[in-house]
Amino acid sequence: MASVDWFGNDAMQFVRRGVTWWLNELTALIPRRFLGRIDAAPAVLEVGRNDATLLLRARGAAEPERMPVQGDLEAIRSHVRTVMRRWLSHAVVVRLDRSLLFETSTTLPVAAEASLRPILQHQLDRLVPLPASDVEFEYTVDPYEAGAKTITVRLIVATSASMERARDMALSIGLTPTVIVAQARGGSDPVTLWRARDPHNRTKLERWVRHGLEATAVLLLIGAYATYVYRLDGARAELQQQVARAGKTAATVRDLMQQIDSGESAIALLQRRQRSSDYLRLLDELTNLVPRNTWISQLSVRGSNVEIIGFSPRVADLVAKLEENPTTTNPRFRAPITRSADGTTERFDISFDMSIEDPK
């Protein structure tokens, strides 16, 4: 039973710590300029000469929580574990108070800028009143104009004892210091005095572990890209199937459109033939209607309206037949009746409405 409890609790904590360590190692690979400002770190430990304050930022909180590091350290560690668990990290940025720093400046030729650190390391005993072996330093270069012959270099120095005390204080509250920074006088950004696991001080095993982490990260990126490409191939295959189905649908629609066009053409032909048959029936009816001694010189049909121009011995007989015929209505003269040149016939210009019914 005890082994099951160990596997259920301690083993899971061990896995979490391993994942946290691995994430911290990967974070260390990222250039500092991509990680944002140090003030935005989830945990910042401000160390003074006689006191220390922890700035702990809960996830989603706008302002960090300020906790003096004194008294019951176990309660502080418990609270830190609760807050930092959401960040999947136990890393802390240590910021030294200016009271723990020694600042000085020196003037050097411009040509020395390419190798400032070894030069400053060599002159450190002359620049600060402490042995070079007992201090850590960082430097900044003041802006200078093009063509200047000298540069002003400012040194920010802290004792190794102060930095060791700051690291021990971070470890005592359950946090792992990753970097120690200090704010130079008049500077806008903090300078880094110490960084955990400096590549020059790593053991061979640490270098191999780091290379393994780098390779794992690269393999994960390659796997993520391969998965992305695989999903793109699947999406492309699905789109091709949709295009093929859409092509078949389009072909079916084209066939239907052709059938519709053919049907409309056939209907138009039938309508033209029907109109032709109507005209033939109309001519046949007119042939039976007009007297034999009457002849027509011009016939016009506009819908149901018929206009006839011709000659007849007695136009009144023609008009009487039109009025008596059930298929003709509203006969009227479009022009006065006139006599022909020989005086034997009368010229007429008559219009009337005529309806022709389909034979049963």
Tens-digit pLDDT profile for residues 250-291: 888 888 888 888 778 777 766 666 555 566 777 778 887 888
Question: What are the angstrom distances between the C-alpha of 64 and each of 41, 70, 82, 83?
Answer: 10, 18, 15, 11
Cβ pair 184, 155 in contact under 8 A: no
Interval 182-227: pLDDT, tens: 987 776 788 999 988 655 445 667 667 777 777 888 888 898 888 8
Stronger pLDDT, 277 or 313, i.e. the higher one: 313
Interval 108-129: pLDDT, tens: 999 998 899 999 999 898 888 8
pLDDT of residue 275: 58
Q: Is 199 helix (H, G, I), strand (E, B) or coil?
A: helix
Pairwise CA distance, residues 150 & 141, whole Å:
11
pLDDT higher than threshold 90 for residue 180: yes
| Average pLDDT for 126-145 | 90
How many other β-carbons are positioned within 10 Å of the β-carbon of residue 178? 21
Q: pTM higher than 0.85 for the full model?
A: no
Residues 335, 340, 344, CA angle at the centre, nearest 5°? 125
pLDDT higher than threshold 70 for residue 49: yes
Structure tokens belonging to residue 50? 């006689």
Specify the amino acid at residue 215: A
| Average pLDDT for 51-63 | 86
In SS3 terms, 251-302 reads as HHHHHHHHHHHHHHHHHHHHHHHHHHHHHHHHHHHHHHHCCCCCEEEEEEEE
Interval 84-93: pLDDT, tens: 877 767 889 9
Q: How far is CA 149 from the centre of its chain?
A: 52
Give percent above pLDDT 70 in the chain: 81
Pairwise CA distance, residues 234 & 102, whole Å:
63
Cβ pair 294, 318 in contact under 8 A: yes
pLDDT higher than threshold 60 for residue 308: yes
Specify the amino acid at residue 99: S
**Residue 176 β-bridge partners:** 91
**Residue 155 β-bridge partners:** 104, 139
Spatial neighbors of 301 by CB under 8 A, at least 6 apart, are: 279, 282, 307
Question: What are the angstrom distances between the C-alpha of 32 and each of 48, 105, 136, 172, 322?
Answer: 25, 26, 20, 26, 110
pLDDT higher than threshold 80 for residue 135: yes
Q: Beta 101-109 vs 65-68: how paired, if at all? A: unpaired
Spatial neighbors of 54 by CB under 8 A, at least 6 apart, are: 43, 44, 45, 46, 66, 67, 68, 69, 76, 80, 92, 173
How many helices and strands, by DSSP H and E, does the chain display?
7, 14
pLDDT of residue 93: 92
At residue 320, φ and ψ (nearest 5 deg) are: -65, -40
How many other β-carbons are positioned within 10 Å of the β-carbon of residue 265? 10
Cβ pair 38, 93 in contact under 8 A: yes
- pLDDT band of 2, cuts 50, 70, 90: very low
